[in-house]
Structure formats: C-alpha cells, structure tokens
Amino acid sequence: MCSLFGWLDYKGIVPHRMLRKLTQALANAAEERGTDAAGISYVKEGKVVIYKRPKPAHKIHFHISDGTTAVMGHTRMTTQGDGKFNYNNHPFHGVAGNTEFAFAHNGVLWNDKELRKEKLIPDTHIETDSYAACQLIESQQKLDFDSLKYMAETVEGNFTFTVLDNKNSLYIIKGNNPMCLIHFPVLGLYVYASTESILRAALCRLGLHKFASEKVDTIEGDILRIDSSGNITKSAFEPAPTYSKHSRYSGYGGWYGYYDDYLNEYEEALLAYCNCYGVESSDVELLLEYGYTCDEIEEMLMDHSLLHQALSDIKDVYGEKMCERYCGVF
C-alpha cells in the first residue's frame, strides 16, 4: 500500500517552477497510499540524487535542481523494514555495471529472505523486502530490458517497479499492482502515479488537466522505457502466478470448500492496516473470501462507499445466512 509517482519532461518547455510544484502536488496526493515516508530521485550533472525522509509528503519540501528533466517518487506505508530508519525507505540507490540508478516499488515481495538464503543477493542492513529487487538488478551488472526481466521473473509477490537511470531514462516494470501513465504531447511531458485518482488530483491542482493528454496503457508483464527524448520502447517479462489463501482451494464444493492455510503478505498488510481506515478486518476477510483482489480492496479502504456496495452485493448474491455461517459478518 504505497504509491509511485513522477514525471519526465523531454521538450524543456514546462517552466521549472511548474515542475517543482508538480513534484510536490504528486507527492501530496500520493499520501492517500502511504504516510510513513516519502522520497524522490532525480539526476544532477549525471549523478543520481535521492532525497527521502521518514515523514508524510506534505511535511517535506521537495526541491529539484534547475535543469531537472525527470523525477521518480514514492510514498510509503510500512510493511517490512522500520520506516523510522531512513535507509529502509524508497527510492533506493543502485549501481549496475557503469549505470547508476534509483529504484522504487509499490507492493510486497515475500521471497526476499529465500533469495538471500539461495545467495542470489548478499545480506544487507536494509530490511525492506523491496531492496532485494534492486540487488537483483545490480547482480546482472547492467541496467537494460534483460536485467529488468530477470529481476521481475525472480521476485515473488505483488509489484510494480520504477527505475530512473543517470541518463534520465525512466523504466516502468508493470506487475499486478496499479499504474497510470499520461502523456501531454504539446507540453512534451509524461506524468505517472499508482492510481488515476492520485494523478488527476495533482494535475487539477495545477491546472494541467486543461491540456490535451493521452493515456499510455500498460498491462501486467510490460517493461516500458521512456528515454530523455520522450521515446518509448517496450519489452516484456512472464508474470509468475500469484497464490493466496483465497485462491488456492484444496477441497471441492465451490467457494465453500476448504482452502490451504496460506496468506500472502499483501493480504496480511491489508488486514493489519485496515483499522487505520476505520474498516474491520472481518470485512476485509469477507471481501478476500469472495474473490476481490487486494488492489480492489485497497481502493475500498480509501472509499467506503465502494466498500459498502461490495459488502451489500455479497449479501444479496450469497444470502445473509450463508455469510453468517462462514464469515460471521452480517
């Protein structure tokens, strides 16, 4: 339950002052998915700069240097790795061969410890599961489609990743977590965020929504590269099947058959943090039981009208008595 956000300016006609305001507006809007920490990265004189703090975005003043042409950002809700220690927060710094890069992740990985045991990546003082993916890229000694494909097919979990290299190329590795990317051809500007609502809130605040734009569609398995000239090239990885307590049945009899006692870390995070949004964990369990995805439930935590409608639909379809018997909610 974090958010990615950022922009890439390839024509150089948007004023620096507006780009600085855009960075702050995106970060502030992205707080709806995480307030434990926030950070950005950008390139200055060929070097990747990372600025992050264990604070909500609105309490941080994000400054970018004159001439900055791309910013990659992240707001965090902690699931693994104490956010009070800033080294656990995003973006992370990486070096692959001769390429320096910044790395950010929305989602939860649950095989990072196994990767260390298997010696695919070394031990580190950074406790965040996301950093394992950054290390996998470094292990390939290059930053390109092949190394990103290797990383995306090696990690297990829920994810969408962004990478910014020291030549101002932005990579988006689209897994099963959300991503919204918009292009303003007249402005020569790409802007992205984890959800369209975050993106629209930031753009409306600055009046940029008045300019003609087009949505750049991405699907699970896409790897996009937007270079400093605004050119998009694509590659792909093979998404791994994801399993959860609510999709791995070991009996028969439809939805009421028994299932393996298995709960992925993304679902655990939803159950752990739902009370922060005023939602009972039993409601989240019921939604998972009836096939709602973690991303859908995450949206419901932030919009209770969607939550109430979903719970009402379940009651209408399956009946109050069945819900009482198996879930004890109604």
Q: What is the pLDDT, as a whole number, of residue 302? A: 79
Confidence of residue 313 (pLDDT cuts 50, 70, 90): confident
Higher pLDDT, 37 or 274: 37
| pLDDT the model gives residue 242 | 54
Position 312 scores a pLDDT of 86
Confidence of residue 10 (pLDDT cuts 50, 70, 90): very high
State mean pLDDT over 250-275: 54
pLDDT, averaged across the chain: 87
Q: What is the pTM of this model?
A: 0.78
Q: What is the mean pLDDT of residues 106-119?
A: 90
End-to-end CA distance of the chain: 27
What pLDDT band is residue 152 in, cutting at 50, 70 and 90?
A: very high
Alpha helix ranges (H) inside the chain:
16-29, 112-117, 131-139, 145-154, 196-206, 265-273, 281-289, 294-302, 304-318, 320-326
**Residue 246: per-residue pLDDT:** 40
Boundaries of every domain in the chain? 3-236, 254-326
Instruction: Give me the residue label for tokens 């990690």.
Output: 155
Distances in whole angstroms, Cα of residue 316 to Cα of each of 37, 85, 187, 313, 321: 40, 47, 49, 5, 11
176-186, pLDDT tens digit by residue?
899 999 999 99
- Report DSSP state, residue 249: B
Task: Write down the CATH number for the domain with range 3-236.
Answer: 3.60.20.10
Mean pLDDT on 55-62: 96
Q: Residue 205: which of 3, 71, 26 has the closest Cα?
A: 26
pLDDT value, residue 317: 65
pLDDT at 108: 87
